[in-house]
Structure 1
């Protein structure tokens, strides 16, 4: 039976959190660009 060390689990949590944060920032920046374009035109 293989057991995952606790620090590995923590690393996975941090990875998913940072990935989520990255995706959120991408979406928000894309949304802001869209809004800016609309206001310019």
Structure 2
């Protein structure tokens, strides 16, 4: 489920990289919830 920006011209490559990093981090947390709990505590 990848959300494309409404106007791709405005989105910079750094923002796109940040979003992909965030989405991959979220999927990693979903697959490894214990790892996320260990990072918080």
Do Structure 1 and Structure 2 share a fold, with TM-score over 0.5? Answer: yes
Q: Which runs of 4+ in 1 moved over 2 A?
A: none
Q: Relative contact order, CA 8 A, sep 6+: which one is greater? A: 2
Q: Counterparts of 1:23 and 1:4 in 2: how far apart (Å)?
A: 27
Q: Which has the larger radius of gyration?
A: 1
Q: Tell me, which stretches of 5 or more residues in structure 2 are unaligned?
A: 1-6, 35-41
Relative to the length of structure 2, the TM-score reads: 0.55
Q: Tell me, which stretches of 5 or more residues in structure 1 are unaligned?
A: 30-41
What CA RMSD, in Å, does the superposition of the two structures yield over aligned residues?
1.8
